[in-house]
A and B are shown apart, each in its own frame.
Chain A
């Protein structure tokens, strides 16, 4: 491959926060624009170029029938496809609909449900097409994003760490909110990337970076029960921003009566 790296950023069902992490790169955004070709990024530019792209970053979950078609087209037009954020990687907070009666939701919100194109489930991109790398987080972390971008610019495969928030938190020397405060912290089962932000802010992690590679959600659930949480509390804890991620999904189900 020759010439500048052609980058695209695509949006599906999301809050736009992961794209905002690009726009909040501040001066580094200008550097990126000078080193790569930002070929398609509708939130940032009126000029949009058709594929093929070297890398497509995808934000948002798949939640309408039109989405299903578009994600296949994007896959076909992209050499690498990288999901950004909890929505694209695990279905996002909106995947909470996956446990509910979707049609009832639509009827409750819209007087004319027939105008609304919405699938029963909100699902991650990887349920539909091949994904080359996943950047977790709600939102993605800018340091991780920058590392991935420099890997890509250097034409090496991006590497994304999979250890737990808990390890990072201990290294940073924060007071453990689970032990010291008895708060139901998800740090032991959550993937690192945020810099152990919540413990630094003296509160419990709520799992916004999704499951770490080999966390034991069952053991942590038992620990939460000892802290006085009810079964329903434990279910809600895991069934949250990354609730549809398999490890959290299974963890929550174990406590559901």
Chain B
């Protein structure tokens, strides 16, 4: 039949990790659509077994080079829960500061180096920088500030060495904190301009209905703590996660797909903003309202604006933490291993990241499970892409391919992390 079309994107570019997309259109119907992840499996959960609690933060960081802090933070909280350890308010603030660094770095990198070229018609940020150097340099400055926070807390932004179960090995001294504070304050205008700039991009106007899932904290915009909530009324603790979210394997992917009560769901910056508008500080909320977007938004392309808003939020949050900062007497609480189970969820730049550890009384891992955000978004991404194909049948193949690629990148899939999970409970039918 002449109306049969195949769209292939053999290698997805400007994403972390390796993936491909296959679409088979039969007339006006999508006969098949597969987001193919061929990232080789690295079996993290298996080789965490038998390892000491001390080693885990340095091991799980290596799952993802762009969100190592998220892996470290979910792990340390889960293990502290298993051991019944309680951190101090000072450590809590330092962890928040640490996470601000990762959000700023990861979001700025995604907006400028990975996503923006799509909306402005460039192949990459280097080409974009030739025509609009100011835009790219502003992005790199904000990315650099995120790196500077991570550098202060852990020595480097990829696999920082400062975090441990119980807190940090070393707390920043007053002079380091003051120097960083000055740099952050000086970038406030950059962060504000960035939000307006993203809102002015020509973004496709679409609407997708799927539950938005994020953390929700009683008073703060969520990072390290909170209940897992959805826009459709779910409200559970991290310990209940696997009773609701079920992973299953699909033939075309080394990443497992997660469903909530059998349905796709959506995690990440847009879900966070949507579910936590009332916890954005007033100046970030005013900026959000000034974009002209009607929040909560069901347009996945508004994720880029949500990322910019979170950069703005994280910058001011970091400033607020540093303004109050005095080095704590001791940057960590003592850890006494005991047998137990702990589950925890934190907000990685790409959405909720869940981990669960079963520890023995010597402090070694008996069993672990890790469910990263990209695995949770995969089913939703495929559903979104199907809808995009159906809405854009009139486009030529090249345009349609470009549109779908941009649609995938827009979710900021982190394919390198999306693969190393396990112990799915699979229902065979």
The reply on B248 being an interface residue by CB < 8 A is: yes
The reply on A38 being an interface residue by CB < 8 A is: yes
Contacts of A105 in B (CB 8 A): 43, 46
Bound complex: CA A194 to CA B155 (Å): 9
Q: Which residue of A lies closest to B254 (CB)?
A: A116
Task: Decide if A138 touches B422 in the complex (CB within 8 Å).
Answer: no
B43 contact from A44, A67, A109, A240, Cβ within 8 A? A109
The reply on A254 being an interface residue by CB < 8 A is: no
Interface range for A: 35 or more
Task: Decide if A26 touches B249 in the complex (CB within 8 Å).
Answer: no
Bound complex: CA A21 to CA B151 (Å): 13
The reply on B263 being an interface residue by CB < 8 A is: no
A44 contact from B125, B161, B162, Cβ within 8 A? B125
Interface range for B: 35 or more
Contacts of B299 in A (CB 8 A): none
Task: Decide if A30 touches B15 in the complex (CB within 8 Å).
Answer: no
0/1 interface trace, chain A 45-62, chain B, CB 8 Å (1 if under): 111100000000000000
Task: Decide if B254 touches A97 in the complex (CB within 8 Å).
Answer: no
The reply on B203 being an interface residue by CB < 8 A is: no
When A and B form their complex, what is the total count of cross-chain residue pairs whose Cβ atoms lie within 8 Å? 185
The reply on B17 being an interface residue by CB < 8 A is: yes
A201-B169 CB under 8 A given contacts A19-B65, A109-B46, A109-B421: yes
Task: Decide if B66 touches A106 in the complex (CB within 8 Å).
Answer: no
Task: Decide if A97 touches B126 in the complex (CB within 8 Å).
Answer: no
B65 contact from A67, A139, A194, Cβ within 8 A? A139
Which of A9-17, A75-83, A153-161, A217-225 lies at the binding interface? A9-17
Bound complex: CA A116 to CA B37 (Å): 11
The reply on B59 being an interface residue by CB < 8 A is: yes
Contacts of A23 in B (CB 8 A): 109, 113
Bound complex: CA A100 to CA B13 (Å): 33
A24-B158 CB under 8 A given contacts A33-B126, A44-B124: yes
Task: Decide if B129 touches A30 in the complex (CB within 8 Å).
Answer: yes
B66 contact from A16, A38, A111, A233, Cβ within 8 A? A16
Q: List A residues 112-140 near B (Cβ within 8 Å).
A: 112, 115-118, 122, 138-139
**7 CB-based A-B contacts, threshold 8 Å:** A20-B65, A63-B40, A110-B424, A138-B62, A201-B155, A203-B169, A233-B52
- The residues of B with any CB-CB pair to A shorter than 8 Å are 11-18, 38-47, 51-52, 55, 58-59, 62-66, 68, 105, 109, 113, 117, 123-127, 129, 133, 136-137, 140-141, 143-144, 147, 154-159, 161-162, 164, 169-170, 248-249, 251-252, 254, 405, 416-417, 420-424, 426
7 cross-chain pairs, A with B, having the tightest CB-CB distances, nearest first: A17-B65, A45-B124, A109-B422, A33-B126, A96-B47, A111-B426, A94-B42
